[in-house]
Structure 1
C-alpha cells in the first residue's frame, strides 16, 4: 500500500508545482521553557549571539507553534536538533522529545546532546542506541575567531583534541551520525576527522556558517567547503544563513545556496529551517519560499531530493 508520503511525492513529480512539494525540515528545535532548562534561553544576562538580540525566541516553541508558522508549506516530517539543554543532564532532552513524539507524532527523529570529551560519553551513547528517535549527536567543537586560527590549532575540546576524538571514535559502533557546527575555517580539522573516521557520517550544520559576506570571505568559504566535499562521508544542511540586522532575501542568499549545491551536489544537500532560532531574522514562510525560489530552475526530482528525499534517507524516516 502506498503511504501518504508516496502519494505526495507522486503528486509533486507529476505537477512540478512547489505548492505540492513535501518538505522534511532537517534541522529545527522544540523547547518547553516552562518545564525544561535550557541555560541560554532561561538565564540572564543573555549570551552573545551571531544574530544579535534573541529575546524573541526565549519562549516555548512546540509542534503547534511550528506548524502555525510553516503554513502554507507541506512540512511532512521534522528532525529536531538538540537545543543546548542543561548539560548536567544530556539525556534529558531526548527523553522529553520521545514523550513529545508519543503525544503528537513530532519530531520524527532527533540529534541528541553529547559531550565527547566527558567521562560519561560511552554511557550517553549507549542510552541513545536504545532511543528510536535518535539518529545523530552534536557537540560543537572548540573554535576560535578566524583571525586567531592557525594550521596547528588543537585546543582542548577541538576536533584535534585526543580526548574529544576518543569519544568521537565510539560513534560508528553505536550507529550514530555526527552533526558538525563550526565555522568554515575549521574545516581543515573536519577534513582530517572525516578521513580518519570514514565510517561516521558528518552532517555539516548551517552551510558552514558563511557569515563574512565580503568577496574574500565568501571565496574562503567556498574553498573550505570544496575541500570538505572531497570526503564522501560528509553531508550538508543548507540553513542558518541569516545576518544580523540584514533582512533575509533571495538576492543575498541565493548565490550562497547555489554555490553550496554546486560544490556538494544535489544528492548530498538538504534544506532546513533552524527554527525558531532563525525566526530572529526571517519568517518561516519567507524562508521556505525563498529556498524554493532559489532552486526553481532545477528538475522536480532534484528539488524533491533537496527538500524531502535526502533527509528522509539520511535520517531513516
Structure 2
C-alpha cells in the first residue's frame, strides 16, 4: 500500500484524513474491555468531505469498547428553507435520524448520537428560546445542549475560518441574553475557543453558575501563527487559565482535539502515522494539567473525529489516552472514559452499561 504524501489542510485547522496513510499504523488495542463513551464527534457530507454513520462505526470497530457517542454540531445538514434562525434545527433532525438508525442495531453495538449538541445563534437574544425549544423537540429526548463557537484570534493564520467571527462574543450582552435560556431549559453549553479566550469563558461561567459549561478540546491551546515556536511560553499561560476556570464548579473539560493542526505538531506530515506512545508524550502535559485542575469526574476523553483523524486513527488515539491514564485508579479511569460523559450529557444507556460507566 502506498500512502498519500500530501495532506490537505481543511480550513487551516485540521488535516483531511488519509485512510491509506492511517492504515500504515496498526496497534494492539490496550485495555480492550474498558467502556468508552465518546462525547465529541461530528458527522458531515460537505465540501468534498464525507463522514457519516458508516464511517464512525467503522472507526469504532477498530477495537475499543465504545458503547455510546455524543454528536456535536458541525454546521452540517441545516435546513435550506424556512426562517434563518430555525435552519440549524435541521442538524438536530439529522443527528436524531442517525441515532435512530444506530438504535436499530444494524450498525454495531455502540449507541451513536445517544446525545446531541446542536447550534442556536445566541445573538438572537430573547428570540433564541423558541429555537432552543424547537431543537429540544427535534431531538426526541436526545438533545442535550448547544455549541456556539466563540473561537477568534487577531492572527488569521490562527483563526482561519473563524477570522470573521466577532471578537469578545462570550462577553456580549445580547449573547448572554440568549445564553440565559439554557439552564431553565435544562441545556448545557459546549465552548469552542482558543486559549487566549479562556478568561472570557471564565467570566461567563461565573455570571451563570447554574449553567453547565463544557470546555472543548482542552481549551484550544494554539501553536500556529503568532503562537508558533513559543510552546513553553504559551503552555504556561494556558495552564494558568485552565487552573482558573477549573475553579468554576459548573465547568467540565473535554480531553482531546489535540490532533488538529492548531496545536502546532506536524504528525500529519510525517511518512508514518504516529504511535500512541508518541501522541501520549506530546499530549500528556496538556491532558494531565486538565485532569489535575478539574479532577477525573469533571473531565472526559473525546475523539473529536473526523478533525483529529487527520493525524491518527481511532484505534491509536484511544490507545494514547489509555497510556496517559494508565497510572490512575479504576474509578478515575471509569470517570474519564465513560462516567463523566454519561453524567454530563445525561445519556440513557442500557442499565448494565450505565452502572459500569458511572462507577
- Asked whether the two chains share a fold, i.e. TM above 0.5, the reply is yes
The answer to whether structure 1 residue 141 and structure 2 residue 150 are counterparts is yes
Structure-2 residue corresponding to 1:304: 334
Residues 24-58 of structure 1: CA deviation (Å, up to 9, x unaligned): 00000122x2xxxxxxx32xxxxxxxxxxxx7xx1
Which residue in the other structure is 1:186 paired with?
197
Check the 8 A contact 1:30/1:80 in 2, yes or no.
yes
Aligned partners of 1:210 and 1:218 also within 8 Å: yes
| CA deviations over 1:169-206 (Å, ceiling 9, x no partner) | 11111110000011121121111111111110100000
- After the TM superposition, which of the residue ranges 220-229 and 238-247 deviates more from structure 2? 238-247
Alpha-carbon distance in 1 for matches of 2:131, 2:205: 22
Is 121-130 or 216-225 further displaced after alignment?
121-130
Cα distance in structure 1, aligned partners of 2:151 and 2:256: 21
2:90 maps to 1:84: no
Determine if contact 1:211/1:241 at 8 Å carries over to the other structure.
Answer: no
Q: Which residue of 2 aligns with 1:246?
A: 266
Give per-residue Cα distances to partners, 1:270-293, cap 9 Å, x unaligned: 000000111111111110000001
| 2:99 aligned to which of 83, 98, 101 | 101
Distance 1:144 1:123 in 2: 31
Residue of structure 1 equivalent to 2:25? none
Give, in angstroms, the shift of residue 211 of structure 1.
Answer: 2.3
Q: CA deviation at 1:156?
A: 6.3
Q: Which of 93, 113, 117 pairs up with 1:111?
A: 117
Equivalent pairs counted in the alignment come to: 271
Aligned counterpart in structure 2 of residue 198 of structure 1, from 202, 209, 217 = 209
Q: TM-score, normalised by structure 1?
A: 0.81
Paired residues for 1:126-275 under 5 Å: 126-130=133-137, 131=139, 132-141=141-150, 143-145=152-154, 158-212=169-223, 214-244=231-261, 246-247=266-267, 249-275=279-305
Cα distance, 1:251 vs. partner?
1.4
Return the alpha-carbon distance in structure 1 between the equivalents of residues 171 and 313 of structure 2: 37
CA separation in 1, counterparts of 2:168 and 2:245?
A: 20
Shift of 1:107: 1.1
- Partner Cα distance (2:39, 2:209) in 1: 22
Q: Which moved more, 1:95-104 or 1:240-249?
A: 240-249
* Equivalent residue in structure 2 for 1:281, among 311, 319, 323: 311
CA pair 146-185 structure 1, distance change in 2 beyond 3 A: farther
Alignment partner, residue 65 of structure 1: 55
What root-mean-square deviation, in Å, do the aligned CA atoms of Structure 1 and Structure 2 show? 2.0
Question: Given the two structures, how large is their TM-score scaled by the length of structure 2?
Answer: 0.71
Does the 8 Å CA contact 1:117/1:157 hold for their aligned counterparts?
no
Structure 1 contact 211–243 (Cα < 8 Å) conserved: no
Q: What SS class does the counterpart of residue 109 from structure 1 fall into?
A: strand
**Structure 1 unpaired stretches of 5+:** 1-16, 34-40, 43-54, 148-154
State whether structure 2 residue 33 is matched by structure 1 residue 20: yes
Among 124, 144, 148, which residue is 2:131 paired with? 124
CA distance in 1 between counterparts of 2:124 and 2:167 reads: 12
Of 159-168 and 133-142, the range deviating more from structure 2: 133-142
Matched residue, 2:322:
292
Quick check: 304-313 or 245-254, which moved more? 245-254
